[in-house]
Chains A and B, each alone.
Chain A
């Protein structure tokens, strides 16, 4: 009885692992193939049968992307825009979240609902009026035009996540500081923010990835080649006729390395952010 049970769970475990290995392999194959192609010269990117191990392998694509294609500039643009937008969005969101979490004031409920409205409206829906707005403020073709709308676009989710977290911090701590004479700003910067590192990490990571990868808005307002961010630059590598696939993927891999690094280092915050969304809606 006991024996057969162990054998059965043993077989189940083997089947389970076999299934997981096969499906994980399916998920990863496209990435591996992309890495492989980034080391092929143009003549070998679409051979029959396909080359899985590049032969001859070359690093020409990486050299060419980095040197002749102005890629360093695009990388710096993306970094500048993503870091600035993330910092500002998390700062403004946490201030708003603090007001919603710790103060009673007229219209609080209504205002919070209006902020949540931003979660329900697809970003793409706003692209036409935002374009006209950006044009009116002279923000087309500028870093500022990207940053302002990236910050605004991430306010709703960040405010929502941070508010939930701030509410979970016991109010007695605030009161104790208040008795000691600490003003609202001091309580915010010395108490709430330091205690909220996990939530701040989650919002920072999500905002950074969203802005680093953003495509539609950048493609719409950026014409000046010197201001291109990575997603639009990569798209343009994929020329109209004969796509230089090796170049495209060398560029792509350089662009996704920071993302994968951030993801691997801060994994647990990803899970927290996702479940916060799942449990609370």
Chain B
């Protein structure tokens, strides 16, 4: 104790000022090199006709890669497919996830079991479930048999654009319901029981209670789920890559599978980066919207 007091104040202060930086340094350096530098690098590469063999001789071409995306029919197909995937997967995940959460809200001995069963697909690897659904949607597979046990005219799910998108979306919904259910369940269980009871006392029926008590209370969770699912929709990759490979004839490409094939198939890193940057801008705007929603929410509650 006495020694501490005797230590020169200036030395102690500078050592204290250094302390947080010592804690930050290892993680921060890695983060700057492996995440932040690549972000900047992708933006820069998107302005070049990138030469994979010798990066130094890459040619600066301004926004040509972006113009090229604008005129590239496959890029538009990929964008449309990503959009279709969202339209097909986001509403069912919200409606079914919320519906199941409402049914599971009441505490019962079976509740944890159901929770695990619905959540199982969420924790299972995308690679495994993509192959599983490819098998289920095979020409002689289970889905075709369930639809028509005689198998007179089985649908070739994965060899036409829209049938394949339906199969891919079915996987997305099945894998995602458990996640939205968990978020909604947590939000619903956060509602004070007194509120529900008061509404019941006032003679509100089930639907009225849902609309007046539950829905406003889970509104932030709803916004969160919506934004995360839309972002997740843009990020769909493994299921498409493994179920159709973007085929037939690139008709089921989504933005990420197309970016990947441009970059690591055609080795066109500049154009691939431009597609990545475009995607990031969209996702970034969505994430900012979400932050904004939460900021106002927190200000209200504090």
> What residues of chain A have their CB less than 8 Å away from a CB belonging to chain B?
16-17, 19-20, 23-24, 27-28, 30-31, 33-34, 37, 45-50, 92-93, 95-96, 98-100, 102-103, 105, 108, 111, 114-115, 117-122, 124-133, 148-149, 151-153, 155-156, 159, 181, 184, 188, 209, 212-213, 215-216, 220, 231, 234-235, 238, 243, 245, 248-249, 252, 255-256, 259-260, 263-264, 267, 270-271, 274-275, 277-281
Contacts and interface: CB of A to CB of B under 8 A. Distances in A.
A95 B23 contact: yes
Interface stretch (B34-42, B64-72, B160-168): B34-42
A128 B235 contact: no
B199 interface: no
A92 B45 CA distance: 30
Contact of B26 (A95, A119, A120, A267): A95
A48 B225 CA distance: 40
B283 A122 contact: yes
Contacts of A280: 294
A100 B24 CA distance: 8
A2 B108 CA distance: 23
Interface of B: 1, 4, 17, 19-21, 23-24, 26-28, 30-31, 33-39, 41-42, 45, 55, 96, 100, 103-104, 110, 112, 114-121, 123-129, 131-136, 138, 140-142, 145, 149, 151, 174, 177-179, 182-183, 186-187, 220-221, 224-225, 231, 234-235, 237-238, 242, 256, 259-260, 263-264, 269, 272-273, 276-277, 279-280, 283-284, 287-288, 290-291, 293-294
Query: What 10 pairs between A and B have smallest CB-CB spacing?
Result: A152-B34, A92-B27, A103-B20, A129-B38, A281-B294, A129-B41, A213-B125, A99-B23, A120-B287, A99-B20
Contacts, number: 248
Contact of A128 (B30, B45, B125, B140): B45
B154 to A, nearest CB: 9
16 contacts: A20-B114, A27-B117, A46-B140, A50-B142, A114-B36, A117-B36, A119-B287, A125-B39, A126-B276, A152-B34, A156-B31, A215-B125, A231-B125, A238-B134, A238-B242, A249-B131
Nearest to A46: B140
A277 B83 CA distance: 25
**Does more than half of chain B's interface fall in helix, strand or loop, or is it mixed?**
helix
A126 B238 CA distance: 16
Contact of A278 (B45, B145, B183): B183
Contacts of A181: 1, 4
Contacts of B293: 281
A216 B234 CA distance: 15
B280 A121 contact: yes
Contact of A215 (B20, B121, B127, B234): B127
Given A19-B103, A37-B135, A126-B42, 10 more contacts: A20-B104, A100-B24, A122-B235, A124-B235, A124-B256, A127-B263, A128-B45, A128-B272, A255-B125, A281-B224
A129 B120 contact: no
A103 B38 contact: no
B39 A126 contact: yes
Nearest to B290: A281
Contacts of A274: 179, 182-183, 186
A125 B36 CA distance: 12
A37 B136 CA distance: 11
Contacts of A148: 30, 34
B174 A30 contact: yes
A28 B39 contact: no
A92 B30 contact: yes
B35 A153 contact: yes
B269 A132 contact: yes
Contacts of B114: 20, 24
B127 A234 contact: yes
Contacts of B140: 46-48
Given A34-B132, A50-B142, A105 B103 contact: no
Contacts of A48: 140, 145, 151
Nearest to A24: B117
